[in-house]
């Protein structure tokens, strides 16, 4: 699932000259947050060693996270917000040192917003395997340099285990709510099923109960796009003498993903057959506006993400299956006890609404009975990040339930 940037929400057909100027210059070998970079609003917690579901082991894990609001005396007002595939801990707030873009959900988290930080204590961690301060492939390993492709395979359950360790370190016995969308929604559902005694409410937004063959196939070609870039260098690109990283492969993967985050109708209506710079004759070197749009966002993505981390997180998405070793999906859903909001996007072609309908039908505590809350949006999968008023209204219902 996409990490939303402000310009993605503006229904314009063209990238502006200012946008283009912002992309001048070669991207760094990695867009990961590195030691010595401004920390911004990040806090850090070392949660110790983590044994992984598939037999791997991380000797030391650090979680980067941000908080807003005040934890009350009995620690009962804490809400955990979990980001999507290429997101981070900066859920809300302006851009600044350490945070080149504004918060990805500022319309829903903050004073007076649906998740009101005057009332709730909000915690947002960067997930395990990420590249914005939490231990991941760009972090230094016991060998004295970046983990790179030596970073072990992690699953959605491993990421939730790391979040659980952070929860314990923060002294939070139970979350009032765990809220997540897309990959974060996979994690919030895993919380509800795997740790029902640690949360009272859960929001599963635009996420499935398990990754299906179609989604795994889409992810596999993105992974291959990164690995086929000669500058990927088997994942050992961090100290390249010329600073060259797998920019082309990572940008291509991003462009592929973006097509799954948006609906065909939105792209057709937004761009039609327009050209980037006025009307340009066919065969005269012009570019369709939609091509420029994809190229711009692919280029921008390489400046804030790490290629190894992208592979790690996409593979974690592929691992998602709440029914694994639990007797299947329906048996796993029956374990949940939290009040639940299950929300889907009618035009979502990444995780179509039948995914959410299945969860809603079998998830105990669903505030809508056996129905999912389906949003009628033309924005596709990214609708849960863009349709602020509608999504915010549903979040309010859950928190008040």
Determine which one of 161, 182, 210, 309 is catalytic: 182
Please answer whether residues 319 and 329 qualify as being in contact, where contact means their C-beta atoms are separated by less than 8 angstroms: no
d(CA 295, CA 293) in angstroms, rounded, equals 6
Q: What is the pLDDT of residues 153-203, one digit of tens each?
A: 999 999 999 999 999 999 999 999 999 999 999 999 999 999 999 999 999
d(CA 274, CA 120) in angstroms, rounded, equals 46
Q: What is the pLDDT of residues 108-140, one digit of tens each?
A: 999 999 999 999 999 999 999 999 999 999 999
265 given a catalytic annotation: no
H-run or E-run covering 59:
strand 57-68
pLDDT of residue 5: 41
Q: Among the listed ranges 16-30, 35-49, 270-284, 326-340, which one has the minimum average pLDDT value?
A: 16-30
pLDDT at 1 over 80: no
Q: Average pLDDT in the 92-105 region?
A: 93
pLDDT at 12 over 50: no
pLDDT at 57 over 90: yes
Enter the DSSP assignment of 298.
Answer: H
Counting residues of the chain whose pLDDT is more than 70, the rounded percentage is: 90
CATH architecture, range 6-400 = 3-Layer(aba) Sandwich (3.40)
Please answer whether residues 318 and 216 qualify as being in contact, where contact means their C-beta atoms are separated by less than 8 angstroms: yes
- Residue from 172, 34, 153 nearest 98 by CA: 34
pLDDT at 281 over 60: no
90 given a catalytic annotation: no
pLDDT of residue 319: 97
295 given a catalytic annotation: no
pLDDT of residue 241: 54
Determine which one of 348, 377, 382, 394 is catalytic: 348
**C-alpha angle with apex 231: 291 to 144, nearest 5 degrees?**
130
Determine which one of 88, 381, 382, 394 is catalytic: 381
Domain limits of the chain? Answer: 6-400
Please answer whether residues 341 and 204 qualify as being in contact, where contact means their C-beta atoms are separated by less than 8 angstroms: yes
pLDDT at 150 over 70: yes
Counting residues of the chain whose pLDDT is more than 90, the rounded percentage is: 79
pLDDT at 327 over 70: yes
Q: Average pLDDT in the 42-59 region?
A: 96
Q: 203 has which bridge partners?
A: 179, 341
List the end-to-end C-alpha distance of the chain, in Å, as a whole number: 28
- Phi and psi for 227 in degrees, rounded to 5? -65, -25
């Amino acid at each position: 699932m996409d990490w939303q940037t402000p310009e993605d929400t503006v229904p314009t057909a063209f990238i502006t000259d200012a946008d283009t100027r912002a992309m001048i210059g070669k991207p760094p070998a990695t867009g990961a947050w590195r030691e010595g970079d401004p920390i911004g609003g990040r806090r850090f917690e070392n949660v110790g060693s983590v044994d992984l579901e598939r037999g791997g082991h991380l000797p030391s894990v650090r979680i980067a996270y941000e908080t807003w609001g005040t934890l009350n005396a009995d620690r009962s007002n804490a809400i955990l917000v979990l980001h999507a595939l290429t997101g981070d801990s900066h859920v809300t707030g302006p851009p600044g040192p350490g945070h080149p873009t504004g918060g990805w959900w500022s319309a829903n988290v903050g004073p007076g917003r649906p998740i009101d930080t005057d009332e709730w204590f909000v915690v947002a961690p960067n997930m395990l395997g990420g590249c914005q301060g939490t231990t991941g492939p760009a972090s230094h390993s016991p060998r004295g340099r970046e983990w790179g492709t030596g970073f072990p395979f992690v699953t959605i359950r491993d990421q939730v285990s790391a979040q659980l360790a952070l929860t314990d370190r923060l002294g939070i016995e139970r979350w009032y709510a765990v809220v997540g969308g897309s990959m974060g929604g996979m994690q919030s559902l895993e919380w509800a099923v795997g740790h029902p005694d640690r949360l009272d409410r859960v929001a599963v937004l635009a996420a499935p109960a398990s990754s299906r063959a179609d989604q795994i196939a889409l992810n596999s070609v993105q992974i291959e796009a990164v690995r086929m870039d000669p500058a990927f260098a088997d994942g050992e690109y961090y100290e390249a003498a010329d600073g060259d990283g797998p920019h082309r492969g990572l940008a291509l993967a991003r462009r592929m993903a973006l097509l799954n985050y948006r609906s065909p109708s939105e792209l057709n209506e937004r761009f039609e057959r327009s050209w980037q710079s006025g009307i340009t004759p066919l065969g005269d070197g012009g570019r369709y506006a939609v091509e420029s749009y994809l190229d711009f966002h692919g280029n921008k993505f390489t400046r804030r993400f790490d290629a190894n981390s992208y592979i790690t997180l996409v593979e974690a998405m592929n691992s998602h299956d709440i029914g694994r070793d639990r007797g299947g999906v329906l048996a796993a859903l029956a374990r949940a006890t939290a009040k639940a909001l299950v929300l889907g996007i009618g035009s979502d072609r990444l995780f179509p609404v039948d995914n959410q309908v299945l969860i809603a039908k079998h998830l105990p505590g669903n505030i809508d009975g056996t129905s999912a809350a389906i949003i009628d949006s033309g924005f596709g999968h990214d609708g849960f990040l863009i349709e602020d008023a509608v999504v915010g209204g549903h979040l309010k219902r859950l928190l008040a339930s």
